[in-house]
Chain A
Amino acid sequence: GEDVEQSLFLSVREGDSSVINCTYTDSSSTYLYWYKQEPGAGLQLLTYIFSNMDMKQDQRLTVLLNKKDKHLSLRIADTQTGDSAIYFCAVAGMDSSYKLIFGSGTRLLVRP
């Protein structure tokens, strides 16, 4: 079945850029997603990218998609302490475009 992999932890200094990476095994997904989870809360959609795009920019967020390598990344520019959270990559399952397969999440720690 579909597998989505992420590194577990990333630590950056406030003001630096953060890059969170995700790889997936196979996908018929039309969209690929990045979600953010703050402590004690549910997941919130940050951004998504259409599968025929290579890049999407949304304010401080840049999503890069390399379909050949099955690699998705999220870049956060000028990272702030409020960006400290867990970030999940998600793709649609092979058998349905409505079911999502989530990575295990990357915990981002922003140091002052």
Chain B
Amino acid sequence: DAEITQSPRHKITETGRQVTLACHQTWNHNNMFWYRQDLGHGLRLIHYSYGVQDTNKGEVSDGYSVSRSNTEDLPLTLESAASSQTSVYFCASSESGTANEQFFGPGTRLTVL
């Protein structure tokens, strides 16, 4: 069955370290998204991509970057982790030209000490 996976599921790191969170989908979807979820804020969009080599900033993109070298993967990199980036991160994907249903991964809980 097609799916969307994230790794790692849990990560503890130190302030200033570079961290990369992986997202992989097997639906062959064009669109991929990264969100962070914090209490009281719901989900906020970090970065998104509408296809290979396409990346765009969301509402909370500072301190994060993404790259899209193939259809299946959209890794999220924290260049220099900060305590404010402690959060749960969700990846999602959707297909263009449909009802835009976004399929979500199980999430990565990141703690920055």
Q: Which residues does A use to contact B, with CB under 8 Å?
A: 1, 4, 30-31, 33, 35, 40-45, 48, 88, 92, 97-105
Chain A residue nearest to B59 in the complex (CB): A1
| Chain A to chain B: the 9 pairs with minimum beta-carbon distance, closest first | A42-B104, A104-B42, A102-B43, A43-B104, A102-B42, A42-B106, A45-B101, A98-B31, A31-B99
- Taking the closest CB of chain A, its distance from the CB of B27, in whole angstroms, is 14
Q: How large is the interface on B (under 10, 10 to 19, 20 to 34, 35 or more residues)?
A: 20 to 34
B-chain residues with CB within 8 Å of residue A101 when the two chains form the complex: 45
Residues of B within 8 A of A (CB): 31, 33, 35, 40-45, 48, 50, 58-59, 90, 92, 94, 96, 99-107
- Complex formed: what's the CA distance from A65 to B74 in Å? 34
Which of A4, A31, A42, A98 sits near B105, CB closer than 8 Å? A42
Contact A31 B100 (CB under 8 A): yes
Docked-complex contact B94 and A98, CB < 8 angstroms: yes
Give chain A residues whose Cβ lies under 8 Å from the Cβ of B41: 104
Majority DSSP secondary structure for residues of A touching B: strand
The contact of A41 among B101, B103, B107, by CB within 8 Å, is: B107
